[in-house]
C-alpha cells in the first residue's frame, strides 16, 4: 500500500496528533454472516521508536502482523470512539473511526514540532499569515532539504507586537550568542546557580539524551516542558528515570533534582 497518512489525535505513547506514517495493510475479521469487518490498519512510522510500546503491547495481546513478508516495525491502529458536544445546540455526539487521514501534504501549522529530511513549501493560493513561512522552512535540518515553490516576499509576515518586542530587546538587552557543542563548557562561574528550560518533543523516549549534553545535565535546576505526555504515562516513573542518569550529580558533587509536573 504505502499510502502516506497522518494521525488525527493522541492514540498511545508516542503516537500523537500529526504523527506521519505509511499504510502497511488492512486486517479484517469474518463476521457470522461471512461478511468482513475492518478491525485494524497496520502502519509504519518513519521513526522506529514511534509506536514501539503499542507494537510490543499488541504482541503480548496476541495481535500479530497477519501479512506475508511482514514489516517488523508495523504498528496496529484500531478504531477509537470519541464523544463530543456540538456548540450552541448542546447535543452530545459519539463517533467511532480510524483516527487517520491521507496525507500527501500538510499545512505549516500541522507540521509544527516535526524534523524532516526534506520539505517542499508550495505557496500557490496560500494566505500569508504570521509565522507560516518560518515554521515550514525550519522543519528541515539544512537548506539542502528545502525546496520552495511559488514564493513571494509577502509570505514572510511578522505581527507588529512581535516586532515591537524585538526592537525593545535589541535596544535594552544586548545578548552575545555563540555556537556551542555538546561537550563545550559554557559555565564560567561555578559558584552561581545554573537554571535551564527545555521544551522537548517525546521526553518519554529521549531520557538518555540528557547525559549527552554536559551543560544540560549539569544544571542545578531544569524546567521541562512536554506537551505530549498523556494520562497513560506514569509521572513518577519519568521522575525516577530522570534521576538515574550518570550526570545526576552537579559539579559540586551535590545531588540534582529533576521534576516534571
What nine digits make up the cell of 49?
A: 521508536
d(C-alpha 229, C-alpha 201), whole Å? 10
Q: Mean pLDDT throughout 218-238?
A: 72
Angstrom CA distances, 203 to 41, 64, 108, 235, 245, stand at: 27, 28, 23, 11, 14
Mean per-residue pLDDT over the chain, rounded: 79
Give the cell for residue 203. 521526553
| pLDDT greater at residue 92 or residue 18 | 92
Return the minimum-mean-pLDDT range out of 33-47, 199-213, 234-248.
Answer: 234-248
pLDDT tens-digit map of 38-92? 999 999 998 888 888 888 888 888 777 777 677 888 899 999 888 888 888 889 9
- Structure confidence by residue, pLDDT tens digits, 101-154: 998 888 888 888 778 888 999 988 888 888 888 888 898 888 899 999 998 888
Alpha-helical (H) ranges within the chain are 52-60, 132-137, 160-172, 214-217, 235-242
Amino acid at each position: 500500500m504505502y499510502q502516506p497518512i497522518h494521525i488525527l489525535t493522541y492514540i498511545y505513547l508516542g503516537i500523537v496528533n500529526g504523527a506521519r506514517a505509511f499504510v502497511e495493510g488492512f486486517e479484517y475479521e469474518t463476521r457470522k454472516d461471512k461478511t468482513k469487518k475492518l478491525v485494524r490498519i497496520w502502519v509504519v512510522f518513519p521513526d522506529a521508536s514511534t509506536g514501539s510500546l503499542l507494537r510490543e503491547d499488541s504482541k503480548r495481546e496476541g495481535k500479530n502482523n497477519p501479512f506475508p513478508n511482514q514489516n517488523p516495525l508495523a504498528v496496529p491502529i484500531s478504531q477509537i470512539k470519541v464523544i463530543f458536544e456540538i456548540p450552541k445546540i448542546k447535543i452530545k455526539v459519539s463517533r467511532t473511526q480510524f483516527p487517520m487521514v491521507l496525507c500527501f501534504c500538510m499545512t505549516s501549522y500541522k507540521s509544527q514540532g516535526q524534523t524532516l529530511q526534506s520539505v517542499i513549501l508550495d505557496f500557490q493560493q496560500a494566505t500569508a499569515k504570521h509565522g507560516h513561512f518560518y515554521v515550514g522552512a525550519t522543519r528541515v535540518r539544512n537548506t539542502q532539504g528545502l525546496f520552495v515553490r511559488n514564493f513571494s516576499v509577502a509570505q514572510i509576515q511578522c505581527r507588529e507586537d512581535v516586532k515591537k518586542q524585538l526592537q525593545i530587546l535589541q535596544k535594552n538587552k544586548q545578548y552575545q550568542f555563540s555556537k556551542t557543542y555538546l561537550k563545550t563548557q559554557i559555565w564560567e562561574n561555578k559558584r552561581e546557580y545554573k537554571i535551564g528550560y527545555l521544551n522537548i518533543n517525546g521526553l518519554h523516549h529521549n531520557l538518555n539524551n540528557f547525559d549527552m549534553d554536559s551543560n544540560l545535565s549539569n544544571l542545578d535546576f531544569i524546567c521541562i516542558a512536554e506537551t505530549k505526555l498523556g494520562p497513560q504515562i506514569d509521572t513518577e516513573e519519568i521522575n525516577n528515570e530522570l534521576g538515574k542518569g550518570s550526570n545526576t550529580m552537579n559539579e559540586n558533587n551535590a545531588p540534582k533534582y529533576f521534576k516534571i509536573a
